[in-house]
Amino acid sequence: MNRFALAALTFAFMTLSHAAEPVTARQVPCDAPPMPGDSREIKCTMPADGAARQYRFVVHFVGGHDDTSASFKAFEDGQPLACDKASKLSLFGEDGEVSLYCNFSPKQDAASPHVVSFSVLWSHAQYDRFELIEQ
Protein backbone atom coordinates (compact mmCIF):
# COMPACT_ATOMS: atom_id res chain seq x y z
CA MET A 1 0.00 0.00 0.00
CA ASN A 2 1.46 3.36 -0.92
CA ARG A 3 1.85 6.29 1.51
CA PHE A 4 -1.06 8.26 0.05
CA ALA A 5 -3.50 5.36 0.42
CA LEU A 6 -2.29 4.71 3.97
CA ALA A 7 -2.68 8.39 4.90
CA ALA A 8 -6.18 8.52 3.38
CA LEU A 9 -7.23 5.38 5.21
CA THR A 10 -5.85 6.68 8.51
CA PHE A 11 -7.64 10.02 8.06
CA ALA A 12 -10.93 8.28 7.24
CA PHE A 13 -10.66 6.04 10.30
CA MET A 14 -9.87 8.96 12.61
CA THR A 15 -12.72 11.03 11.20
CA LEU A 16 -15.24 8.22 11.66
CA SER A 17 -14.04 7.34 15.14
CA HIS A 18 -14.36 10.97 16.31
CA ALA A 19 -17.74 11.39 14.63
CA ALA A 20 -19.09 8.46 16.65
CA GLU A 21 -18.19 10.05 20.00
CA PRO A 22 -21.25 11.56 21.69
CA VAL A 23 -21.13 15.26 22.49
CA THR A 24 -22.71 15.58 25.91
CA ALA A 25 -20.97 18.62 27.37
CA ARG A 26 -19.83 22.01 26.16
CA GLN A 27 -16.62 23.59 27.40
CA VAL A 28 -16.94 27.21 28.53
CA PRO A 29 -14.14 29.59 27.45
CA CYS A 30 -12.12 31.03 30.30
CA ASP A 31 -9.13 33.27 30.88
CA ALA A 32 -6.38 31.87 33.11
CA PRO A 33 -3.14 33.81 32.70
CA PRO A 34 -0.03 32.16 34.15
CA MET A 35 0.91 33.45 37.60
CA PRO A 36 4.10 33.07 39.58
CA GLY A 37 4.04 30.56 42.42
CA ASP A 38 1.45 27.96 43.26
CA SER A 39 -1.74 29.84 42.46
CA ARG A 40 -4.00 30.61 39.55
CA GLU A 41 -6.94 32.98 38.99
CA ILE A 42 -9.42 31.62 36.44
CA LYS A 43 -12.20 33.84 35.08
CA CYS A 44 -15.03 32.60 32.88
CA THR A 45 -17.87 34.51 31.23
CA MET A 46 -21.12 32.60 31.45
CA PRO A 47 -23.73 32.79 28.67
CA ALA A 48 -26.41 35.46 29.14
CA ASP A 49 -29.48 33.69 27.79
CA GLY A 50 -31.53 33.18 30.96
CA ALA A 51 -31.52 29.39 30.64
CA ALA A 52 -31.12 27.24 33.75
CA ARG A 53 -27.79 25.47 33.39
CA GLN A 54 -25.57 23.18 35.46
CA TYR A 55 -21.78 23.44 35.31
CA ARG A 56 -18.82 21.55 36.69
CA PHE A 57 -15.47 23.25 37.28
CA VAL A 58 -12.57 20.82 37.67
CA VAL A 59 -8.92 21.64 38.37
CA HIS A 60 -6.36 18.85 37.88
CA PHE A 61 -2.95 18.35 39.49
CA VAL A 62 -0.23 15.74 39.03
CA GLY A 63 2.51 14.54 41.36
CA GLY A 64 0.42 14.50 44.51
CA HIS A 65 1.94 12.87 47.58
CA ASP A 66 1.66 12.76 51.39
CA ASP A 67 2.04 16.53 51.95
CA THR A 68 0.21 17.81 48.85
CA SER A 69 -2.50 20.35 49.52
CA ALA A 70 -4.85 22.22 47.22
CA SER A 71 -7.98 24.31 47.53
CA PHE A 72 -10.04 26.88 45.70
CA LYS A 73 -12.75 29.47 46.25
CA ALA A 74 -15.49 30.17 43.71
CA PHE A 75 -17.11 33.54 42.97
CA GLU A 76 -19.84 34.88 40.70
CA ASP A 77 -19.66 38.58 39.89
CA GLY A 78 -17.30 39.03 42.86
CA GLN A 79 -19.63 37.36 45.39
CA PRO A 80 -19.10 33.86 46.86
CA LEU A 81 -20.53 31.14 44.61
CA ALA A 82 -22.17 28.15 46.30
CA CYS A 83 -20.93 24.78 45.07
CA ASP A 84 -23.25 21.83 45.68
CA LYS A 85 -22.64 19.35 48.51
CA ALA A 86 -21.05 16.77 46.18
CA SER A 87 -18.23 19.21 45.34
CA LYS A 88 -14.64 18.79 46.52
CA LEU A 89 -13.09 22.18 47.34
CA SER A 90 -9.88 21.05 49.06
CA LEU A 91 -7.54 18.10 49.46
CA PHE A 92 -4.55 17.07 51.53
CA GLY A 93 -2.15 14.15 51.30
CA GLU A 94 -3.54 12.53 48.16
CA ASP A 95 -1.18 10.65 45.84
CA GLY A 96 -0.76 10.82 42.06
CA GLU A 97 -3.20 12.59 39.76
CA VAL A 98 -5.67 14.50 41.93
CA SER A 99 -8.44 17.00 41.30
CA LEU A 100 -10.88 19.40 42.90
CA TYR A 101 -14.32 20.21 41.55
CA CYS A 102 -17.34 22.44 42.00
CA ASN A 103 -20.83 21.68 40.67
CA PHE A 104 -22.96 24.83 40.43
CA SER A 105 -25.78 26.69 38.70
CA PRO A 106 -25.06 30.33 37.86
CA LYS A 107 -27.61 33.14 38.02
CA GLN A 108 -30.28 33.02 35.33
CA ASP A 109 -30.34 36.76 34.56
CA ALA A 110 -30.53 37.15 30.79
CA ALA A 111 -29.73 40.88 30.86
CA SER A 112 -25.97 40.48 30.97
CA PRO A 113 -23.26 37.82 31.12
CA HIS A 114 -21.95 36.81 34.54
CA VAL A 115 -18.30 36.32 35.40
CA VAL A 116 -17.51 33.22 37.41
CA SER A 117 -14.01 33.06 38.88
CA PHE A 118 -11.96 30.54 40.78
CA SER A 119 -8.97 31.31 43.04
CA VAL A 120 -6.86 28.16 43.14
CA LEU A 121 -3.97 27.52 45.58
CA TRP A 122 -1.78 24.42 45.86
CA SER A 123 1.52 23.16 47.24
CA HIS A 124 3.67 20.07 46.68
CA ALA A 125 1.96 19.19 43.39
CA GLN A 126 2.08 20.40 39.82
CA TYR A 127 -0.88 22.23 38.30
CA ASP A 128 -1.99 20.38 35.18
CA ARG A 129 -5.16 21.95 33.76
CA PHE A 130 -8.73 23.03 34.44
CA GLU A 131 -12.06 22.68 32.69
CA LEU A 132 -15.45 24.32 33.06
CA ILE A 133 -18.07 22.16 31.43
CA GLU A 134 -21.79 22.61 30.94
CA GLN A 135 -23.52 19.43 32.05
How are beta strands 26-27 and 126-134 bridged, if at all?
Answer: antiparallel
Domain residue extents for the chain: 25-134
pTM of the model: 0.76
Task: Provide the b/e sequence for 66-89 (b: ≥16 CB within 10 Å).
Answer: eebbbbbebebeeeebebeeeebe
pLDDT digits (tens, 9 = 90+) for 97-121: 999 999 999 887 767 788 999 999 9
pLDDT higher than 80, residue 11: no
Domain 25-134 has CATH 3.30.420.40: no
